[in-house]
Amino acid sequence: MVISRALSSMMLAAGVACAPSLAADNWTIHMTVDNQFSAWFGNSMQTTLAVGSGNSWPTTYTFNVGGANPTDYFYVATSSDHSAAQGFIGEFHNVTQGYQFLTGLSGNWEVFPAGRYLQQLFGMTNPWPASVMPTQAQIDSAITYATTLGLWIPPTSFPGYTNGVGPWGFRPGISANAHWIWHRDPNGPANPLTPGYNHEEFLVFRVPGVPSPVTALPLALMGVFGLRRRR
């Protein structure tokens, strides 16, 4: 069809491939978590590539990662001390694909509150112990369970909780537009970020490594027609 040929021409002019790239992607990541985390790339069922970990929220952790599959998810497993503030914030760059996003501003973020399902996952009773990180095997079990049963849900932020808000202050290397995010236990306080509370932890966050073609196409075509996104 003429329309299809025209659309294909516009996509090529915008640098949008008609089929997913098979090349590995390179990433630059700036992030931190209160209290601790491990980060991974992987498919929809398990982690396959370790990114790094940390347990000092005043530190902005920077990871330069190569070899991620374009169809991978980026995973962040977290736990807190259940006694003070908790949250996750970051800025992420898929250098290969030219895609950038922040915590809180992307509708693609999902979270699985593994603490709600400890009995089903591990035969454990609630709560998950404070300040204890799950192993990779436990994280993979949680991912498989959540994906199989469709249990991924949107994470929660709170009005005004962008980078720079107390008690954390400004975290260098992360955009001022990034939001602190967490999961809110329906029985817990309205603000899941502070004060400390066990919000059905441990938690596993995930986001697709690149936007879906349906999401990416309009952004590319905006450039063809001379439009610009607002910042």
How far is Cα 46 from Cα 32, in angstroms, rounded to an integer? 22
pLDDT at 213: 52
Please report, as a single letter, which amino acid is at residue 44.
Answer: S
CA 173 vs CA 102, 131, 223: distances in Å? 12, 25, 28
- Give me the percent of the chain exceeding a pLDDT of 70: 81
Sorted by where each begins, the domain ranges of the chain are 23-212
**Dist. CA 31–CA 69, nearest whole Å:** 21
pLDDT category, 107, cuts 50, 70, 90? Answer: confident
Q: Which of 12-16, 36-40, 43-47, 146-150 has the lowest mean pLDDT?
A: 12-16
Residues in the chain: 231
Residue 20 CB burial class (10 angstroms; 0-12, 13-18, ≥19) = exposed
Min mean pLDDT across 74-88, 128-142, 159-173, 200-214 is at 200-214
pTM above 0.85, yes or no: no
d(CA 41, CA 207): 10
Residue 193's pLDDT is what? 95
Question: Band of the pLDDT at 126, cuts 50, 70, 90?
Answer: confident
C-beta separation of 46 from 144 below 8 A:
yes
The predicted pLDDT at position 124 comes to 94
